[in-house]
Amino acid sequence: MKVLVAVKRVVDYNVKIRVKSDESDVDLANVKMAMNPFCEIAVEEAVRLKEKGVADEVVVVSMGPKACQEQIRTAMALGADRGIQVETDETLESLAVAKLLAKVVEAEQPGLVILGKQSIDSDNNQTGQMLAALTGMAQGTFASEINIAEETVDVTREVDGGLETLTLKLPAIVTTDLRLNEPRYASLPNIMKAKRKPLDVKTPADFGVDITPRLKTLKVEAPAAREAGILVNSVDELVEKLKNEAKVI
Amino acid sequence: MSILVIAEHENGSLKGATLNTVAAAQQIGGDIDLLVAGSGCGAVAEEAAKVNGVAKVLLADADCYNHQLAENMAQLVAELASGYSHILAAATTTGKNFMPRVAAVLDVAQISDIVAVESADTFKRPIYAGNAIATVQSSDSVKVVTVRSTGFEPVDTDGSASVETLSAVHDAGVSSFVKEELAKSDRPELTSAGVIISGGRGMGNGENFAMLERVADKLGAAVGASRAAVDAGFVPNDMQVGQTGKIVAPDLYIAVGISGAIQHLAGMKDSKFIVAINKDEEAPIFQVADYGLVADLFDVIPELEQKL
């Protein structure tokens, strides 16, 4: 089967972000960007399915400005066969991404679509579920294990109280949780080879999808800073403070 | 305006997060209906009828709603949506699973994990792992919103709403429940505990978490963990506090052997009081801690247990 993986270019997770002084947005000028960590896990799972002989082709798709081709190349260096970029400089909301992905799914007819459970910039946790709704497919969100059978996939999901296993009809949508796998690193020869793999560039207009934002960001502010605390010198002092000063025990 | 809140429940009882979600609905203002969907959940509906501020409880009781599979829930909620201006659910793994599906069926955006209501169409939500707070305004006709429970005080449960049974049965037939493995614990649930004591990589191994458990028992606290402790295999991942685990805001959070990575802070920095116990005085956790103790946890924790 063909596996489609969606990846997003986001600020590197180690970067301590700063809010712009006019509170219009987060300042992303000259900040290191990378593939969203959950997307890396999605790529890794797709490549493992290919190595197991379950998948015969892995297609990676990303949406955004030209720079997101870097992340598509990274995915191809990790083992994806070809890439699709939907190029736009507009800000894309989850619903718009899901609509564009639904068009890509329609064109590519994958047997399985893997996405990360959330991107670490907008923290929305929506796109996979929305894509499932738009394609009418079953969804296995927050997956920590997937097992593909003939016409179904068993997905073990990380839920609040523990784990839950579902059986989904294929084709299906899976979103990855952190414990699904440990992504590999791209080797230098593979990075070189990835440069020659095919990459299709499309635009939202090619798909006839309206990407007008539904939400308006009025303000982005820094969270309230916590007051500086104090260091105590002993357990006795700590217990005393908690009892008499904080009054929480 | 009228608001539909989807109740979070399991094992025949209503979960606390529902009460926080109703509180958010009250801030939006309007009639609030509470949907209880599940299989054999009549008792939950009775419980839901007592939630303050709820006008009416809608009960959808059918096999296909067992375990609230997203495919079936989304169809049910989308069908009910036409009568409502807002649809709210708790930002738990259940709510996060089916709500975006509802939003896409309705062709509207979803606003995830709100921590404050500014007005009926404007909400505050954390982005970038809680390192920024965005105020967003929705232009959609129906607002589909998930609510971070720690952002709202729970409402009381001395109300008396009527219960209306729905006949709708939506079975998309594309997914089925196989099994669940729930972690057993006698301690309070992490997300609703008043006191939490969490261990990190500094705990060294899983056995050492017994030390935290003994302190937790004295405090009536829940035990949590950092992602480092979970990834090292010390404890199961449902104990994880952080951006990718549970978001908590107890009265007292005691971080033991936790350095305080951004990922972890995103899950606990709204706690009222934070205590850090770490032998590394440079650890970032001390920057958010109200009380810090620079010491070896293996000396301090037994002493703390003794002195409580």
Q: Name the percent of chain B lying above pLDDT 90.
A: 89
Q: Summarize pLDDT for B100-157 with one digit per residue, the tens.
A: 999 999 999 999 999 999 999 999 999 998 999 999 999 999 999 999 998 999 999 9
DSSP-derived letter for residue B257 is S
Cα–Cα distance measured from residue B194 to residue B211, given in angstroms and rounded to the nearest whole number: 19
B300 close contact with A: CB closer than 8 A? yes
Structure confidence at residue A203 (pLDDT): 97
Mean pLDDT of chain B: 95
* Phi-psi label, residue B40: left if phi above 0, alpha if psi -120 to 50, beta otherwise: left
Q: Summarize pLDDT for A14-64 with one digit per residue, the tens.
A: 888 999 999 999 999 999 999 999 999 999 999 999 999 999 999 999 999
- Letter string b/e over residues B281-290, b meaning 16 or more CB atoms within 10 A of that residue's CB: eebbbbebbb
Cα–Cα distance measured from residue A146 to residue A148, given in angstroms and rounded to the nearest whole number: 7
Do residues B61 and B40 make contact, with C-beta atoms less than 8 angstroms apart? yes
B176 close contact with A: CB closer than 8 A? yes
Return the sign of the alpha-carbon dihedral for residues A170, A171, A173, A177.
positive
Average pLDDT over residues A89-98: 96
Cα–Cα distance measured from residue A180 to residue A173, given in angstroms and rounded to the nearest whole number: 15
Residue A70's pLDDT band (cuts 50, 70, 90)? very high
- Name the one residue in this structure whose structure tokens are 């404890």: B235
Which residue type sits at B183? A
CB contact under 8 A, B308 and A236: no
| Gyration radius of chain B over CA positions | 21
* Phi-psi label, residue B261: left if phi above 0, alpha if psi -120 to 50, beta otherwise: beta
Distance from CA of B67 to the nearest CA of A (A): 9
- Please give the residue of chain A at the shortest CA–CA distance from B297: A235
Average pLDDT over residues A83-104: 97
Structure confidence at residue A13 (pLDDT): 86
- Name the one residue in this structure whose structure tokens are 């564009």: A100
- Please give the residue of chain A at the shortest CA–CA distance from B103: A130
Which residue type sits at B71? E
Mean pLDDT of chain A: 96
CA A144 to chain centre: 15
Average pLDDT over residues B248-266: 95
Chain B (18-57) residues lying within 8 Å, Cβ to Cβ, of chain A = none
- Letter string b/e over residues B64-88, b meaning 16 or more CB atoms within 10 A of that residue's CB: bbbbbbbbbbbbbbbebbeebbbbb
- B135: its two tokens: 């105020």
SS3 of residue B158 by DSSP: coil
Cα–Cα distance measured from residue A213 to residue B84, given in angstroms and rounded to the nearest whole number: 22
Which residue type sits at A181? N
Structure confidence at residue B12 (pLDDT): 85
Selecting from A17, A166, A242 the residue whose C-beta is nearest the C-beta of B128 gives: A17
Within 8 A of B107 by CB-CB distance, chain A residues are 95
Average pLDDT over residues A102-109: 98
CB contact under 8 A, B10 and A161: yes
- Please give the residue of chain B at the shortest CA–CA distance from A166: B177
Q: What does the longest C-alpha to C-alpha distance in chain B come to?
A: 61
Q: Please determine, for the modelled complex, whether the ipTM score is greater than 0.90.
A: yes
- A212: its two tokens: 């007008």
B100: preceding bond cis by omega (within 30 degrees): no
Average pLDDT over residues A102-114: 98
Selecting from A11, A161, A229 the residue whose C-beta is nearest the C-beta of B289 gives: A229
Chain B (179-198) residues lying within 8 Å, Cβ to Cβ, of chain A = 179-183, 191, 195
CB contact under 8 A, B108 and A95: yes
> For residue A233, which of B240, B97, B294, B272 has the smallest C-alpha distance?
B294
Distance from CA of A40 to the nearest CA of B (A): 15
Residue B298 φ then ψ, to 5°:
-70, -20
Q: Summarize pLDDT for A173-196 with one digit per residue, the tens.
A: 999 998 899 899 999 999 999 999
Residue A80's pLDDT band (cuts 50, 70, 90)? very high
- Name the one residue in this structure whose structure tokens are 């995103």: B266
- Letter string b/e over residues B164-186, b meaning 16 or more CB atoms within 10 A of that residue's CB: eebeeebebebbbeeebeeeebe
Which residue type sits at B277? I
- A98: its two tokens: 């899901």
Task: Give the A:B interface size as CB pairs under 8 Å.
Answer: 252
Task: For helices B209-219 and B297-307, give the axis angle rounded to 10 degrees.
Answer: 30
Structure confidence at residue A190 (pLDDT): 97
- Name the one residue in this structure whose structure tokens are 């720079």: A67
Q: Summarize pLDDT for A210-245 with one digit per residue, the tens.
A: 999 999 999 999 998 888 799 999 999 999 999 999
Distance from CA of A87 to the nearest CA of B (A): 21
In this prediction the pTM is 0.93
pLDDT at B192 over 90: no
